[in-house]
Amino acid sequence: MHSEGDFKKDGAGAFHEKHSLSIRIWHWTTFITIASSLVLVLLGSTMFRTGDNVSLVQEQLERKGAVVTKDQAWSVAHEYSDKLWMAHKWVGYGLCFLLFSRFIIELAQPGEEKLKLKIKRAMGFKATTPAEKDERRHYLIVREGYLVFYLLFLVMGLTGLGLAFEHSPVLKDIQDPIKEVHSIVQYLIYTYILVHLIGVVRADIGKYQGIVSGMIHGKK
């Protein structure tokens, strides 16, 4: 079990924490799954947007001698976009499972690896030198950032499930607000990912060399 003293002894190295095998597997699986979900969202919101492809379907069919109405062309264009959003929904179930497994990992991890206890330990640490104070502040911002991410992830998961079960009697009348929250919070998720990537790359280039490979091999 880490103590206040360990945090001090580790100094700047407090950031070089070991990551358990379960967290490492969880992290990289989540990275791949979120990335694939984002690709589907990107395609669904751009190249395969139904409205943008209606005239394309009409033109292509006209070239082959078939004249179809806007409404008929819409059905075809919509089918392709629907395929992507269906895939997003299935990947979304995977994400919900990953979020749930992160919760279980937190419960099952040994004390010193629990995010909650890491935050508590750093809060209890009495920093004396300016360097220690800085380190402690940075450490806490990063760990609390993870908590914010998990919260945003939970909101995306719950609203995503709300959209997936749109026909349920309880959910069908509140689809609009659910969709709105899901659409807005996506930008917070993108912001988090961007900040996270910049943060870990800067850390690895700077004071915390090896932090990224630490998330792969699990050693300090």
Contacting residues toward ligand HEM, per CB under 6 A: 15, 17, 23, 27, 30-31, 34-35, 37-38, 41, 85, 88-89, 92-93, 95-96, 115, 142, 146, 149, 156-157, 160-161, 163-164, 179, 182-183, 186, 189, 193, 196-197, 200, 211-212, 215
Q: Quick one: 6 or 59, whose CB is closer to ligand HEM?
A: 6
Q: Quick one: 74 or 85, whose CB is closer to ligand HEM?
A: 85
SS3 assignment, position 109: coil
Give the H or E element holding residue 199.
Answer: helix 175-205
User: Which tokens go with 14?
Assistant: 């407090």
Minimum CB–partner distance for residue 52 and ligand HEM (Å): 14
Q: Quick one: 58 or 125, whose CB is closer to ligand HEM?
A: 125
Q: Quick one: 60 or 93, whose CB is closer to ligand HEM?
A: 93
* Contact of 96 with 87, CB cutoff 8 Å: no
Q: Quick one: 61 or 178, whose CB is closer to ligand HEM?
A: 178
User: Which tokens go with 126?
Assistant: 């009495």
Minimum CB–partner distance for residue 201 and ligand HEM (Å): 6
User: Which tokens go with 106?
Assistant: 């937190």
How many angstroms separate the CA atoms of 88 and 13, rounded? Answer: 39
Minimum CB–partner distance for residue 73 and ligand HEM (Å): 19
Minimum CB–partner distance for residue 63 and ligand HEM (Å): 30
Residue nearest to ligand HEM (CB): 160
What sign has the CA pseudo-torsion 166, 171, 174, 178? negative
Give the H or E element holding residue 76.
Answer: helix 70-108
Of the candidates 116, 156, 144, 118, the residue with the CA atom closest to the CA atom of residue 30: 156
How many angstroms separate the CA atoms of 79 and 74, rounded? Answer: 8
Minimum CB–partner distance for residue 71 and ligand HEM (Å): 19
